[in-house]
Structure 1
Amino acid sequence: MSVILYLRLSLEVATAAVILLPSLHLFVEPANAQNASSLQSCQVAQLQCHARSGCQMALHNFFVRCSALIGGDDEHPATCPTDCKHALVSLLSTEDNTGHAFINCDCEKDKMCVVRKKKVQVCQREVLDSMHVLREDAPPVTCNLARWICEADTSCLAALKYYYDHCSRLFKGIRCSARCKNSLRILSRQHHANKLRNCLCDGSEDYDCRAVKANTEEMCFHRKTSLKKHPDESHESSHSNAAKKARSRRRSRRRKRRNQALKNRRKANRKRRRQRREERRRKQRMRKKGTLWK
């Protein structure tokens, strides 16, 4: 599992966006009548964003990750949370400029909207300063940021969901199936997924990021190379060994359960055979005594 981006992640558009950065005006104040008259209503912009699954996901991330900034008591916040900056990157990288239209929309005297814009304004400088990390030749970004950028694009989001659906056994360190490999190939063809392959685990992910990366390299690509470490990462690359030990323990438990089930089944079969033999012998004794009708 940095900030404002108004571009697709392809090399051509990324380069063009960096050139156009100085002329990009973000978080336009609705108080300016000339600007407000040419801007789209925030309600309309939000509805158009919800119409696309990628923009809808990016908008959700924005409201969740920036909730502390927007809902805080400080009317003039001094810092922009990292997650909020990353969410803005995701929102501003959506297709057809839907996310950009929402950021620059006209609040139309909606007080909550105006307050939100003023508070998010603190993120603008840091966003612009971190644009270079999204170039193709730039250093890797965190895995959370790479994932949010992918989720902001509808086709990349669909590929990511396909990957989640078919790689559950890979996440557990069991194996990389043919369907999982196919989902990885589909995901790698998405422009907005370019940063996912070499992203950095910084410990803020809601899953074992390093273990998933190690399992993917070893099981899907058959590579034993060590993963690059983020400066903030505190533990060494022992996740691969830990994953192997966990797999070995799971296999051992499954083997014991199978053996116990087989033993119980054999015991039950022997008991049934013994009961049938005893029943036959009882009937034979009764026939000899003439007490059993033929």
Structure 2
Amino acid sequence: MTKYSLVPCMFLCLALANEYCSDIEERCYSRLGCGNALHNFQLVCGRQLSGETAECTEECQKALITLMTRDDGYEYITCDCKKGNEKYSDCGVKKRNLQVCKNVLDAAEIFNDPSKQIACSIAHWICDTDSSCSSALDYYKTRCGNLKEIGSCPERCNSSINILYQQKYAFKLQNCICDELLEDFNCSELLQNTREYCFKDKYSVVNNNKRYEYAARHDSSGFYSVDWTIYRLLATTIILLQRVP
């Protein structure tokens, strides 16, 4: 999502407010990432956009989230259709029909507010739109899945948490609300155990202009202790994934 500082936004946001949705759509199509996401969204959510169904399927929700995390995609989804001036006359109709996905649209309104919580399913889907974040999330689930049995926060789990929460698209994961759509693991148990065993000590890191608290453990000397071998391995893997087209 494109983010603007407050001062430039006094002028830039006014210009964006005067843009037609059709112009934003064409600009999105001109960008490879946004264009692919928009094409997939229109394909997967075709029945929702046309008003043929009142159900927002999981596939449509994921396609919508992917689009909103791309430059110009968020602006396209949240733009206001200008009656009589849009190139495509069905702009307003599609916007109204898309309200069947209100849960995702409501979450989009608080994407940039770290104090607001969203469903963990949506937070996970946001992370899954980026290969590095998705890989880091999988490592976290694997490394931290048996904290209660161990009774502590192992270095591998601690390192995976620190790597995950420094990912750009993981900004809603730590503070999300578990919901029934996450069926591949016990969301509530994992979050509760992570907070109990790994977040006894915390430190803050700024990620994407937001401040987050991360897990921290101390060795006998009082300094932060990290399994640097695992950290370097995971970091290298993430860097390599970022280079994959």
Query: TM-score under structure 1 normalisation?
Result: 0.44
Kept in 1, the 8 Å contact 2:117–2:172? The answer is: yes
Match status 1:218 vs 2:213: no
| Residue of structure 2 equivalent to 1:77 | 52
Residues 89 and 120 from structure 1, CA distance in 2 versus in 1: closer, same or farther, beyond 3 angstroms? farther
Match status 1:89 vs 2:65: yes
| Residue of structure 2 equivalent to 1:191 | 168
Match status 1:131 vs 2:126: no
1: distance between equivalents of 2:67 and 2:136? Answer: 18
Q: Alpha-carbon deviations, 1:209-249, whole Å to 9, x = none?
A: 111111111121238xxxxxxxxxxxxxxxxxxxxxxxxxx
Residues 216 and 102 from structure 1, CA distance in 2 versus in 1: closer, same or farther, beyond 3 angstroms? same
2: distance between equivalents of 1:37 and 1:19? Answer: 18
Residues 199 and 100 from structure 1, CA distance in 2 versus in 1: closer, same or farther, beyond 3 angstroms? closer
| Residue of structure 1 equivalent to 2:84 | none
How far did 1:190 drift?
2.0
Q: Alpha-carbon deviations, 1:47-86, whole Å to 9, x = none?
A: 985xxxxx7xx998x69xx85x5358x9533646274346
1: distance between equivalents of 2:170 and 2:198? Answer: 17
1: distance between equivalents of 2:57 and 2:5? Answer: 27
Structure 1, unaligned runs of 5 or more = 1-5, 29-33, 50-54, 104-116, 224-294
2: distance between equivalents of 1:200 and 1:149? Answer: 14
More strand by share: 2
| Residue of structure 2 equivalent to 1:249 | none
2: distance between equivalents of 1:220 and 1:173? Answer: 14
| Residue of structure 2 equivalent to 1:159 | 136
Q: Supply the RMSD in Å over aligned alpha carbons.
A: 4.9
- Higher relative contact order by CA 8 Å / sep ≥ 6: 1 or 2? 1
2: distance between equivalents of 1:137 and 1:161? Answer: 23
The letter of the residue matching 2:56 is P
Q: 1:178 aligns with which of 155, 174, 195?
A: 155
| Residue of structure 2 equivalent to 1:202 | 179
- Give 3-state SS (helix, strand or coil) of 2:123's partner: helix
How far did 1:145 drift?
0.8
Percent of residue pairs identical: 29
Kept in 2, the 8 Å contact 1:142–1:202? The answer is: yes
More helix by share: 1
Kept in 2, the 8 Å contact 1:46–1:102? The answer is: no
Residues 202 and 92 from structure 1, CA distance in 2 versus in 1: closer, same or farther, beyond 3 angstroms? same
- Give 3-state SS (helix, strand or coil) of 2:110's partner: helix
- Give 3-state SS (helix, strand or coil) of 1:156's partner: helix
| Residue of structure 1 equivalent to 2:243 | none
- Give 3-state SS (helix, strand or coil) of 1:134's partner: coil
- Give 3-state SS (helix, strand or coil) of 1:160's partner: helix
Number of aligned residue pairs? 179
